[in-house]
């Protein structure tokens, strides 16, 4: 009988990525839990395998083999105490920075601590035994497969990272006896590029530089990015927290949220990912992603990461623009601008119809913010809505997207405002976030340059929006999911008294007319003698209606027809029936 590779997907991933990362030397020790891995590798002529019955000796053999060959060496052992015997040699490898990949196989980690024989806890290692330890559980779905791919790539890259050293992979098994897989399914290998390495070539007709939360840009870096866009026909996709003010900027949030229009930015050939966590999802499906960041970490929110450039953005763009001639084709940017113009033209008509909501407030306030002021957004609803409307070029935008939690928006704004008392700092947030951080308004360092917009709809509106799973429960959502009815039930005096007692100037509005009347005070460029709070009373139904209107700002009628028809079929046939019909249609 012919034996090939195991059908255990996590083991396939390890084998495939070992080949992609040029790890061919292996010292295998006998056991049962590592049979799927070892039996598969011994069928593959790529690998150079040696046997060592005793793991302590195997570890030291790997040290000698790595030093003499100059190559990384993998170890494979079974469960029980086998892996414990690697520790002396891995300690040696740690201090000598030897690239030893210790792959310990085991039963599922859920059995740890339940008196199963030969099950030991390998989730925590001594600090000087391995530079990195990752778990590769049995794969059950797309999510767990992606997790294993990232874990294996990260482990193998760490073998040579910052001088190198030993790394540990704990590989779970189900003891499969199926070895009929003749060809390994493809696995995405991820590579780290550092100074002095060979840089890949920039290729693709649609290249997007996607910017997450980002600090203020230097003029020099901005110029390099503009040059890059002109050389490679690229655009810069960003939002208010990206803080990019250069040419070839594309505000992608409104483009990406359209329900019935496939934006041109959604199918990039290459995405270059800068900054940190994205304020909002863009629904972009790139062919390949390059991440540029000095931390050198594998961050893969789009699940298409191919290269991580461990360097500054200045160094990256400096390399790709140095000596290159500007083509100034900019056809991709022009196409994005054409789409954006249609969106903005339609948006002007929609704004007139928007109900009184956070979205409408943003549309009226954003363009009138004082020059060189700064605005902080509460997460989710405020951050989303305000990103649909343009800010003046001199305005910087921030949000607590690091932890992406409800707490601390006002405190962060108050802290930032301590740096420059001649600059106005705005904060816009919902009522749950406001009351969560209420004590910050009692801080004696609260500056007169702070202005807060409280959008009070009496609950967590995020959970009432049509796209949120909480909305399916209707009015019952308010009971516990959206936390309705707290904090005075939209009392017209609760916040007023508190704010005024804290020495703030209090304003309020419950209609468009009232808001426009107070707006001039809110955006007055002169700093008064008190901090300011404008409380706006809205309704979650109007907030949801506003979002739906903005999602339909640009509609492709054919796409809408197809999606609505598909939704109707899915409701009748269920998911399995719907997928069956899709397969039939795709074959025709």
Domain architecture of the chain: domains with CATH: 9-188 (3.40.50.970), 207-338 (3.40.50.1220), 354-549 (3.40.50.970), 556-588 (no CATH)
Which residues are CB-neighbours of 23 under 8 A, at least 6 positions away?
71, 72, 73, 74, 101, 156, 159
CA distances from 150 to 36, 75, 299, 300 (A): 21, 20, 9, 8
What pTM does this model have?
A: 0.90
User: From CA 585, how far away is CA 588, in angstroms rounded?
Assistant: 5
Tokens 């959206």 belong to 482
Tokens 């997790």 belong to 147
pLDDT in tens, the chain (588 residues): 688 999 999 999 999 999 999 999 999 999 999 999 999 999 999 999 999 999 999 999 999 999 999 999 999 999 888 999 999 999 999 999 999 999 999 988 777 776 677 777 777 788 899 999 999 999 999 999 999 999 999 999 999 999 999 999 999 999 999 999 999 999 999 999 999 999 999 999 999 999 999 999 999 999 999 999 999 999 999 999 999 999 999 999 999 999 999 999 999 999 999 999 998 878 899 999 999 999 999 999 999 999 999 999 999 999 999 987 777 779 999 999 999 999 999 999 999 999 999 999 999 999 999 999 999 999 989 999 999 999 999 999 999 999 888 999 999 999 999 999 999 999 999 999 999 999 999 999 999 999 999 999 999 999 999 989 999 999 999 999 999 999 999 999 999 999 999 999 999 999 999 999 999 999 999 999 999 999 999 999 999 999 999 999 999 888 888 878 866 555 554 555 445 434 543 443
Is residue 585 helix, strand or coil?
helix
User: From CA 438, how far away is CA 431, in angstroms rounded?
Assistant: 10
Question: CB atoms < 10 A from the CB of 294, how many?
Answer: 11
Question: Residue 116 has what pLDDT?
Answer: 76
Q: Is 122 left (phi over 0), alpha (psi -120 to 50) or beta?
A: alpha
Measured in degrees and rounded to the nearest 5, phi and psi for residue 154 equal -60, -45
Closest among 453, 445, 447 to 409, alpha carbons compared: 453
Structure tokens at 151: 């874990």
- Whether the Cβ atoms of residue 165 and residue 159 lie closer than 8 Å to each other: yes
CA 243 distance to own-chain centroid: 17
Structure tokens at 107: 């039963």
User: From CA 471, how far away is CA 461, in angstroms rounded?
Assistant: 10
Question: Residue 577 has what pLDDT?
Answer: 47
User: From CA 19, how far away is CA 47, in angstroms rounded?
Assistant: 8
Measured in degrees and rounded to the nearest 5, phi and psi for residue 529 equal -100, 10
Which alpha helices (DSSP H) does 175-296 contain, by range? 219-232, 252-256
Tokens 């098994």 belong to 173
Burial of 163-187, coded b for 16+ CB within 10 Å and e otherwise, reads ebbbbbbbbbbeeeeebeeeeeeeb
- Whether the Cβ atoms of residue 211 and residue 236 lie closer than 8 Å to each other: yes
Length of the chain: 588
User: From CA 289, how far away is CA 525, in angstroms rounded?
Assistant: 42
- Whether the Cβ atoms of residue 228 and residue 207 lie closer than 8 Å to each other: no
- Whether the Cβ atoms of residue 391 and residue 371 lie closer than 8 Å to each other: no
Question: Residue 582 has what pLDDT?
Answer: 47
- Whether the Cβ atoms of residue 289 and residue 193 lie closer than 8 Å to each other: no
In what helix (H) or strand (E) does residue 171 lie, and over which residues does it extend?
strand 167-172
Closest among 221, 578, 515, 241 to 402, alpha carbons compared: 241
Compute the C-alpha angle 238/241/246, nearest 5°: 50
Question: CB atoms < 10 A from the CB of 541, how many?
Answer: 13
Compute the C-alpha angle 61/65/70, nearest 5°: 155
User: From CA 101, how far away is CA 231, in angstroms rounded?
Assistant: 41
Is residue 517 helix, strand or coil?
helix
User: From CA 172, how far away is CA 9, in angstroms rounded?
Assistant: 11
Closest among 171, 163, 149, 161 to 74, alpha carbons compared: 171
Enter the DSSP assignment of 260: T
DSSP E strands, 354-414 = 374-377, 396-399
**Helix/strand number for the chain, H first, E second:** 18, 19
CA dihedral over 177, 179, 181, 185, signed as positive or negative: positive
User: From CA 453, how far away is CA 86, in angstroms rounded?
Assistant: 59
User: From CA 299, how far away is CA 319, in angstroms rounded?
Assistant: 22
Structure tokens at 58: 């195997």
Strand partners of residue 454: 429, 535
Question: Residue 124 has what pLDDT?
Answer: 77
Question: CB atoms < 10 A from the CB of 398, how many?
Answer: 22
Question: Residue 283 has what pLDDT?
Answer: 86
User: From CA 292, how far away is CA 272, in angstroms rounded?
Assistant: 7
Closest among 550, 508, 504, 521 to 389, alpha carbons compared: 550
Question: Residue 575 has what pLDDT?
Answer: 54
User: From CA 153, how far away is CA 19, in angstroms rounded?
Assistant: 11
Burial of 204-222, coded b for 16+ CB within 10 Å and e otherwise, reads bebbbbbbbbbeebeeebb
């Amino acid at each position: 009988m012919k034996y090939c590779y195991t059908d255990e997907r996590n083991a396939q991933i390890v084998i495939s990525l070992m080949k992609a990362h040029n790890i061919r030397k292996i010292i295998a020790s006998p056991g049962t839990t590592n049979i799927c891995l070892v039996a598969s590798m011994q069928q593959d002529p790529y690998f150079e395998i040696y046997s060592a019955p005793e793991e302590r000796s195997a570890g030291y053999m790997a040290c000698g083999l790595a030093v003499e060959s100059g190559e990384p060496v993998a170890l494979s052992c079974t469960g029980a105490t086998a892996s414990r015997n690697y520790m002396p040699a891995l300690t040696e490898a740690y201090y000598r920075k030897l690239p030893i990949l210790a792959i310990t196989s085991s039963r599922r980690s859920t059995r740890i601590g339940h008196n199963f024989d030969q099950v030991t806890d390998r989730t925590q290692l001594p600090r000087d035994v391995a530079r990195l330890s990752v778990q590769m559980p049995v794969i059950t779905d797309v999510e767990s497969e992606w997790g294993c791919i990232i874990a294996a790539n990260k482990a193998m890259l760490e073998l040579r990272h910052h001088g190198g050293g030993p790394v540990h992979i704990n590989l779970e098994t189900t003891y499969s006896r199926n070895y009929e897989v003749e060809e390994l399914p493809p696995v995405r290998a991820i590579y780290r590029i550092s100074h002095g390495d060979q840089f890949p070539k920039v290729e693709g007709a649609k290249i997007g530089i996607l910017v997450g939360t980002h600090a203020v840009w230097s003029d020099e870096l901005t110029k390099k990015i503009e040059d890059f866009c002109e050389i490679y026909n690229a655009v810069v996709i960003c939002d208010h927290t990206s803080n990019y003010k250069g040419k070839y900027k594309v505000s992608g949030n409104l483009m990406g949220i359209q329900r019935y229009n496939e934006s041109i930015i959604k199918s990039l050939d290459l995405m270059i990912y800068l900054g940190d966590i994205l304020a909002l999802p863009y629904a972009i499906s790139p062919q390949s992603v390059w991440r540029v960041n000095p931390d050198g970490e594998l961050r893969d929110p789009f699940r298409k990461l191919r290269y991580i450039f461990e360097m500054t953005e200045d160094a990256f763009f400096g390399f790709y623009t140095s000596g290159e001639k500007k083509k100034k084709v900019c056809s991709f940017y022009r196409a994005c601008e054409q789409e954006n113009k249609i969106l903005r033209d339609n948006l002007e008509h929609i704004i007139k119809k928007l109900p009184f909501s956070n979205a409408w407030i943003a549309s009226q306030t954003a363009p009138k913010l004082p020059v060189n002021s700064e605005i902080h957004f509460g997460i989710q609803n405020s951050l989303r809505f305000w990103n649909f409307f343009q800010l003046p070029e001199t305005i910087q935008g921030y949000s607590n997207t690091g932890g992406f939690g409800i707490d601390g928006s006002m405190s962060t704004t108050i802290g930032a405002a301590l740096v420059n008392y001649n600059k106005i700092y705005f904060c816009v947030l919902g009522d749950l976030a406001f009351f969560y951080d209420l004590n910050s308004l009692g801080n004696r360092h609260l500056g007169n340059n702070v202005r807060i917009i409280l959008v009070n709809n009496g609950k967590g509106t995020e959970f009432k929006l049509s796209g949120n799973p909480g909305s399916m429960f209707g009015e019952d959502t308010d009971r516990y999911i959206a936390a309705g009815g707290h904090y005075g039930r939209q009392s017209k005096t609760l916040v007023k008294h508190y704010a005024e007692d804290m020495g703030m100037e209090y304003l309020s509005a419950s209609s468009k007319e009232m808001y426009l009347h107070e707006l001039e005070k809110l955006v007055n460029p002169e700093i008064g003698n008190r901090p300011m709070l404008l409380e706006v009373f809205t309704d979650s139904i109007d907030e949801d209606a506003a979002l739906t209107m903005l999602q339909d700002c640009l509609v492709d009628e054919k796409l809408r027809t197809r999606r609505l028809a598909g939704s109707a079929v899915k409701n009748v046939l269920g998911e399995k029936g719907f997928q069956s019909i899709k397969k039939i249609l795709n074959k025709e």
